[in-house]
A and B are shown apart, each in its own frame.
Chain A
Amino acid sequence: MTWFRREKTELNPADKAESRLRTEGLWSKCDQCRNIIWKKDLEENQHVCPRCGSHFRLGARPRLALLFDESGYQELDAGLFSTDPLSFTDTKAYRHRLASARSATGLQDAVITAEGRLDGQPVIVCAMEYGFIGGSMGAVVGEKITRAVEYAENRRQPLIVISASGGARMMEGAVSLMQMGKIAAALARLDEAGVPFISILTDPTTGGVTASYAMLGDLNLAEPGALIGFAGPRVIEQTIRQKLPEGFQRSEFLREHGMLDAIVERKQMRATLIRLLAFCRPRAEAAPRPRAAGRS
């Protein structure tokens, strides 16, 4: 299996790509409560403000480390990289943006897909990296997540996707757009196979990522206070020419409008997933295609 590259597990790496933190040496300022927090306190608190509970953005690697068992995880398809299908250049060439993102994050693209165990149970987890071009989805993110869906189906292991993304990657044009269809089509098969898919939406999850896999979980969970939507707030403000109400497109707003099963604090996420997966067990055997009877 050439695609199956096992790499040394990193359990607790420093997260360079983490944003929203205004770091001045050892101190950070919380955007929510404006308190100055000792960085070490923040790290020990899983990057949740110890004063007000605000959830800071978190990179893909520390996320995976928080979820998996202590035995760690193995990355899947870690070597895939974009070949710049449009030879796109705006004020800067896309291939240079890719190179900067690679050196800033140590990743080839905006998602890590991994296998490992959660409370002893084998699971496939995809974690998006907002620090890599805003977590945007191009052909590599689309392919890696589609393969992760297929691994989950073939091995009958639950799939968990942690989204943090501004949406489709403009620099890959319609190639990015089609990834929405590709992943959604793979998720239809996973659904038919009776394998659970839990979607975790974190700050921010917008655009083509929300409008494809992030909203298609058997269960959709979100961290508190995350920006979640289809259109970005700026686009909506320009369209309707008025200020948006406080709390619009935040997790609590989405739950109120019926789009989320639950809002789960970061510190409770692992225990919550274990609880939910005790109910959502992969069905023992694949149902024959075409799909199982009973769906109208």
Chain B
Amino acid sequence: MNMADLPSSSNPAWQRVELARHPQRPSFLDFVRELCSDFFELHGDRRFADDEALVGGIAAFRGRQVLVLGQQRGHDIKERIRRNFGQAKPEGYRKALRLMRLAEKFHRPILTFVDTQGAYPGIDAEERGQAEAIAFNLREMARLRVPVVATIIGEGGSGGALAIALANRVLMLENAIYSVISPEGCASIMWRDPAKKETAAAALRLTAPELLELKLIDEVVPEPEGGAHNDPARAAAWLGEALERTLNQLDAAADLPGQRYQRWRRMGQFFDETA
């Protein structure tokens, strides 16, 4: 561990935010390279464009043909710009749904990998119906007849993350984060002070162990000491074991849309009723 790896903050939630966004953290396509063979990328939503922020394709994973989908932030600045920093537009979400329906048609399980600050907030995205694209994915994913497993691998930013994560099981890497809003956004709205981002990160309970306790995710996948970037091969191997075990369990499920509905129906039972 060198000095650059030392946490810059004593706030444990913020340390995880920094790990989740670490420039060397393995990306979606890094995990695909480690976990799968014969990856073949499939492009485009057949309506408007191919969104390189959200990548999809077919692959072989531990003896299975699977569909893999995920946001790709990019490692260097050139790739980041090409991939719009992993912030998908409506065509990205529509491509994702097209590919998920392809998987359903051929009875292949779907593995999604979430790593995005959020869906792209821009004029063109609004014009083409960003909200509708996300909403439509949520509803249509609910009724897919094949197993769907989502893993939050880095940053799970709001509706743009959820739009590929309405799964039978939701896994989360130990140092990933998943939130309704970024800590920076929350700090500027609730505290009117972007400098309160570390406080906001703690208040939002966006770490994997906290989300497991809130029963919003199903499993925390451990990472190597210091974070996945310290040993990407080992991080991928541990995730691979969790995914294989989860797929084996879902193979036995009789009614996948029914199981998925029950899982989501239980989300957030944090209310009481006045007499």
A residues contacting B by CB (< 8 A) are 3, 77, 79-86, 88-91, 108, 138-140, 142-143, 146, 168-182, 184-189, 191-192, 207-208, 210-216, 228-231, 235-236, 239-240, 244-245, 248-249, 257-259, 289-291, 296
Contact = CB atoms under 8 A, between A and B. Distances in A.
A289 B265 CA distance: 17
B145 to A, nearest CB: 6
Contact of B131 (A91, A188, A211, A245): A211
Contacts of B260: 185
A172 B203 CA distance: 10
A247 to B, nearest CB: 12
B143 interface: yes
Contacts of A79: 273-275
Interface string B96-112: 00000100000000000
B275 A182 contact: no
A231 B130 contact: yes
B212 to A, nearest CB: 11
B261 interface: yes
A214 B132 CA distance: 9
B14 to A, nearest CB: 15
Chain B CB within 10 Å — which of A108, A138, A188, A192 has the most?
A: A188
Interface residues of B, number: 63
* Pairs A-B, 8 closest by C-beta atoms: A231-B121, A184-B138, A90-B190, A85-B270, A185-B142, A178-B267, A210-B131, A79-B274
Given A211-B134, A230-B130, A249-B126, A173 B261 contact: no
B257 interface: yes
Contact of B190 (A168, A170, A177, A231): A170
Contacts of A249: 126
Contact of B135 (A142, A216, A240): A216
B40 to A, nearest CB: 22
A187 B205 contact: no
B211 interface: yes
B180 A208 contact: yes
Contacts of A83: 270-272
Given A178-B264, A182-B264, A192-B143, A208 B271 contact: no
Given A170-B181, A211-B130, A230-B126, 10 more contacts: A168-B158, A170-B186, A173-B206, A175-B216, A178-B264, A184-B139, A184-B166, A216-B139, A229-B126, A249-B126
B125 interface: yes
Interface in B194-231: 200, 203-206, 211, 214, 216
Contacts of B247: none
Contact of A81 (B136, B163, B273): B273
Nearest to B130: A230
B128 interface: yes
Nearest to B266: A182
Nearest to B134: A211
B121 A85 contact: no
A188 B158 contact: no
B48 interface: no
Given A80-B271, A182-B264, A231 B179 contact: no
B158 A177 contact: yes
Contacts of B265: 146, 182, 185-186
Contacts of A173: 179-180, 203-206
A80 B191 CA distance: 28
Contacts of A191: 139
Interface in B227-275: 255, 257-258, 260-261, 264-265, 267-275
B6 interface: no
A53 B126 CA distance: 26
Contact of B159 (A188, A211, A244, A257): A211
A55 to B, nearest CB: 21
Contacts of A3: 273
Contact of A139 (B181, B186, B270): B270
B127 interface: yes
Contact of B270 (A175, A177, A211): A175
B166 A181 contact: yes
A187 B178 CA distance: 24
Nearest to B127: A257
A90 B203 contact: yes
